[in-house]
Amino acid sequence: MKLHNTINGEELKEKIKSSDESRTTISFYKYVNIGNPQLFRDHIFYHWNPLGVLGRIYVANEGLNAQLSVPTEQLDAYKSALEDIVFLQNIRLNYAVEDDGKSFFRLTIKVRKKIVADGLDDDLFDMSKPGQYLKVEEFNKLTDREDTVLIDMRNHYESEVGHFDGAWCPDVDTFRDQLPLVVDDLKDQKNKPVVMYCTGGIRCEKASAYLKHKGFKDVYHLEGGIIKYARDAKKDGLRNKFIGKNFVFDERLNERITEDVIADCHQCGEPFDDHTNCINKACNLLFIQCPKCAEKLEGTCSEACKEVAALPEEVQRELRKGKDNGVRIFSKGRF
């Protein structure tokens, strides 16, 4: 059995898009020492691929970070497969808030140095001592206090479309950029309660431990992140302090939590909160574009990209050769 995808990515995408199979989107993470990440990577591919699991998984010495789509009829079998791995027994699974079953189109498992790029030297602080977990009611009560510092530990393009009421949302592109900024900006508030949150909890797990290492006395983070908070608040009929959409890193790009639209189209300024990628593959800019601008620019971010996208595909491929623009993200302060 080959331990990687053997079918063209576009074929896989069309297959899932046209399928009426019910699928469930879940995510989870675990900080745990994995002695041989490559061996573990191959092990889970071998056991999870036959179950029809799709998604993106990062494996490193420090643990794993998984965002998956599982055929609903295979969900129990997948949970059993997780239980067969000792350190994944009783793992908390975050279920998507909005789920059309089209979140992932292939299974990709990569070995990386870190499961989240943070720029930290983990030997300098104790990852086993993160901040205290908060459930919905505890989070609401603590963040209602005037002396509490509430921090959105996500990137600017995530918080732009949705965030908790009263949260500080640093204008950063990456988690790596955010950690030193937070520590420096809050250096005179180390005795205040500090509450942090992110999408599913993985960034706050490490960030809260890091803040404690830096001398912050009273550090908390939202258990299971925005995903679990939104589901639990709805299930238990509790007050929901989140406003707008939750950005997610899969084909959906977002989950609507409330009907509030707090963002604007990056091109015309009209209220709108759907992210998209420029269809010029050489650009692929992530930005917010309303239907009117999408029609005018034919799904691209600019007239220049519109011209490129109109060229034959073989010509576009030639233009892209040898070029790597990396991940491009729109920011009003930088573009």
- Residue 22 · residue 102 · CB < 8 Å: no
Mapping DSSP to helix (H, G, I), strand (E, B) and coil, where does residue 299 land?
Answer: coil
* 198, 265, 290, 293: the active-site residue: 198
How many CA atoms does the CB half-sphere of 203 hold within 13 Å? 22
For the chain, report the end-to-end CA distance as a whole number of angstroms: 46
- Residue 214 · residue 154 · CB < 8 Å: no
Q: 191, 239, 238: which is closest to 216 by C-alpha?
A: 191
Q: What is the DSSP string of 225-283?
A: HHHHHHHHHHHHT----EEEEEE-SSTT-EEESSS----B-TTT--B---EEE-SSTTT
- Catalytic residue check, 198: yes
- Residue 64 · residue 58 · CB < 8 Å: yes
Residue 100's Cα: distance from chain center in Å?
17
Contacts 24+ apart (CB under 8 A), 34-42: 34/59, 34/60, 34/61, 34/62, 34/63, 34/64, 35/61, 37/61, 37/111, 38/111, 40/64, 41/109, 41/110, 41/111, 42/3
Q: What is the DSSP string of 38-76?
A: HHHHHHHHHHHGGGT-EEEEEEETTEEEEEEEEEGGGHH
d(CA 198, CA 127): 17
- Annotated catalytic residues are 198
